[in-house]
Amino acid sequence: MEKQIIKNVKVSGLWGLKNIETFFNDDVNIFVGANGTSKTTFLNLIEAVLLADFQTFIPIDFDEVKIVLGNGKIENTIRVKKRFDNYPIILYSFNGGDFLEVVYPEFVRRGMVRSVRMLGDYQVIKDKLAELVNISWLSVHRENNQNDEYERVHERTHNYVDEKLNDLMRKLTIYQLQLESEASKIADKFKEDIFSLMLYDEDVDKVNIQSFEHFNPDEIKNELLRAYDLLGINVKDKNKRIIKHTDKLQNVINIIKEGKMLDVEDIFSLSLINRTLSLISISKENEEKKQQIFNPISVYLKLLKDFMPEKEFKLDKDSSGELEIYLKNKKSKGKKIPLFSLSSGEKQLIILFTETLLQKNEPYLFITDEPELSLHIDWQRRIIETLRKLNTNAQITVATHSPEIAGKWKQSVTNMENITNYDE
């Protein structure tokens, strides 16, 4: 199923006194407002509904949360309520269907509830949500463990930022290995296509004089060297043979242009001209495909350098695949520094970028609370548009106090006071 984004959210009876309702933009949504306007609570409830995060539901008093999702083709409506029967019970309804009841799993563990049906409903809810949305949730206010509820770690970590960074670096290594695997398949296909050039092919072996008109021996030589390099062959060993090869092909082309007779060796070389041009074409296509595969990583590293020009960022492809950082200043140029020695702002930036990269340019709900914390003012101005570069298909939802973040996206800003009404 094609993943969906948020179209509308309505929270009824929040804290027993107010209702919040708003429509969402497909690309960027920025919520602003004074302290106490429930920005963070609003985002917490959205995250809790879409991740079945019952730990978040428990302390928040509300009557109902209604979220409408859509992808331009179909819409899905999720309604969530809460009631207490000596312990809190969460109720989910999808598209007007009957409510599924789930007790917070902690009470099951404590032996307070023994309902197998409720545990079954919990998994049904998780599966339905996973079909509908991809979601990334980041907040510096509390730990965000998106694993199964039964595996949630309740104790707050000593350093959430470092824990999150470490987890993302592990996922980044896995992602890089996945890209390497894709590139390896393309390389295998490249070798197969090159080997196939040994066989007769009427398209390849057809002599077309016009195709020889723009034969450039220097360009052909460079492209052949590149092709050998892509095949993992030492180009130094082949340099003389490549020069001899291109000289011979150019000589045959000159004979044709001058209208002279070709001998048997020259006639044989005609086929080599077409095969050489085909090899170069296959090589270029292979290189373009590989560049396309690794383009997300290239963009990611470039953006890190743009934000932190005094540092160089690389992904180690030879061993662990870890993100390597080097200083570029004159005194310490080339010195490798540990990732965890970076400032809190730099770590926060890498977390935001890496989280977005790992969305793999798929439709994602990217919800983040106060991303400006620890970020330089200039970084705050650029952060939203940069995240959009890393994933153009993400719907970014932000709660912020930063005028710098909101400044460039005025059309996407919603003041909480304008979407809140109070019960009389």
pLDDT per position as a tens digit, 98-124: 999 887 656 555 555 555 556 668 889
Answer yes or no: is pLDDT of 125 > 90: yes
> Tell me, what's the pLDDT at 219?
86
For the chain, the structural domain boundaries read 5-134+361-422, 178-287
Contact 193, 346 (CB under 8 A): no
Answer yes or no: is pLDDT of 151 > 50: no
CB-based burial label for 285 (10 Å; 0-12, 13-18, 19+): middle
Range 316-338 average pLDDT: 79
> Tell me, what's the pLDDT at 202?
76
Q: How does residue 6 score in pLDDT terms, banded at 50, 70 and 90?
A: very high
Fold of 5-134+361-422: Rossmann fold (3.40.50)
Range 382-398 average pLDDT: 96
- Give CA–CA dist 75/24, Å, rounded: 14
Nearest to 54 by CA among 124, 148, 133, 141: 148
Interacting residues of 74 by C-beta distance below 8 A, sequence separation 6+: 4
Answer yes or no: is pLDDT of 146 > 60: no
In the structure encoding, which two tokens stand for residue 392, read together?
Answer: 């153009």
pTM over 0.85, yes/no: no
